[in-house]
């Protein structure tokens, strides 16, 4: 987009507003590489975007609205990654497909870090406008993911393929702490008191994806 930043101060045209929105998202994304969501402030995002905090409210009403847009970005990238890396998987084999799908997802760490915030923070504290924009972008991606599933399971209905994507989306959020445990959690679970309760989070995730897919394929 040819919108030189130095030629304007206040975004007036649709192109300038889109450019400013991208600056805000890029700032939040960059900060999220170094800090947890709870540690990030709107002031910090505004500074990174080169604007004032009040100016952010022209584009996003809450910090959560900003991060919902990033969830969409990385969900879309995760689906692209799946489509690219599933090419060698045999059609109709639920166990092999589920293992590949789960492992591909686990490699999309930014998506997992963001999606785990959905229920606890992002959807809960976003504005009505932010949620509308989020859902408007989410459901086309559910359909995009369903097309990937149906390519490998052509006998599975579109509705069931969409269910897989939607359930997997929520399941990834719920199991994130086991898939990618924090350093403190790893240290705690390594204590003798919890030895018999130690779980292989990645295996649990792979198995969960398989049970989900197998249930839709064989049980409906």
- Residue pLDDT, tens place only, 146-158: 999 999 999 999 9
CA 129 – CA 136 distance, rounded (Å): 11
Q: Where are the domains of the chain?
A: 11-59, 63-219
pLDDT at 133: 93
Percent of the chain residues past pLDDT 70, beyond the cut: 94
Q: How far is CA 134 from CA 68, 114, 140, 204, in A?
A: 6, 13, 11, 29
CA 1 – CA 90 distance, rounded (Å): 40
CATH of 11-59, one of 1.10.10.60, 3.40.470.10, 3.40.50.970, 1.10.10.10: 1.10.10.60
CB 73 within 8 A of CB 31: no
Confidence of residue 198 (pLDDT cuts 50, 70, 90): confident
The average confidence (pLDDT) of the chain is: 89
CB 142 within 8 A of CB 162: yes
pLDDT at 2: 47
CA 114 – CA 117 distance, rounded (Å): 6
On the 0-12 / 13-18 / 19+ scale of CB atoms within 10 A, 43 is: exposed
Provide the sign of the torsion angle of the four alpha carbons 132, 135, 139, 140, taken in this order.
positive
Least confident among 60-64, 116-120, 121-125, 162-166: 116-120
- The CATH class for the domain spanning 63-219 reads mainly alpha
Residue closest to 69 by CA, chosen among 126, 17, 16: 126
Confidence of residue 12 (pLDDT cuts 50, 70, 90): low
pLDDT at 67: 94
CA 144 – CA 165 distance, rounded (Å): 9
CA 180 – CA 191 distance, rounded (Å): 18
pLDDT at 188: 87
Q: In sequence order, what are the residues at sequence separation of 6 or more whose Cβ sits closer than 8 angstroms to the Cβ of residue 59? A: 17, 20, 21, 24
């Amino acid at each position: 987009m040819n919108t030189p930043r130095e030629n304007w101060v206040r975004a007036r045209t649709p192109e300038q507003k889109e450019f400013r929105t991208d600056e805000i998202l890029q700032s939040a994304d960059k900060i999220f590489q170094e800090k947890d969501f709870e540690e990030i402030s709107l002031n910090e995002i505004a500074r990174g975007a080169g604007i004032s905090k009040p100016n952010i409210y022209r584009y996003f009403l809450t910090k959560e609205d900003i991060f919902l847009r990033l969830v969409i970005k990385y969900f879309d990238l995760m689906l692209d990654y799946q489509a690219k890396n599933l090419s060698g998987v045999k059609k109709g084999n639920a166990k092999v497909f589920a293992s590949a799908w789960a492992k591909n997802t686990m490699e999309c760490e930014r998506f997992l870090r963001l999606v785990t915030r959905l229920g606890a923070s992002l959807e809960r504290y976003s504005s009505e406008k932010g949620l509308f924009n989020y859902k408007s972008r989410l459901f086309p991606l559910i359909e995009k993911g369903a097309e990937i599933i149906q390519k490998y399971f052509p006998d599975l209905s579109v509705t069931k393929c969409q269910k897989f994507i939607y359930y997997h989306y929520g399941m990834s959020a719920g199991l994130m702490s086991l898939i990618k445990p924090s350093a403190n959690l790893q240290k705690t679970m390594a204590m003798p008191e919890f030895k018999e309760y130690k779980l292989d989070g990645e295996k649990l995730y792979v198995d969960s994806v398989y049970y989900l897919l197998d249930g839709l394929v064989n049980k409906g």
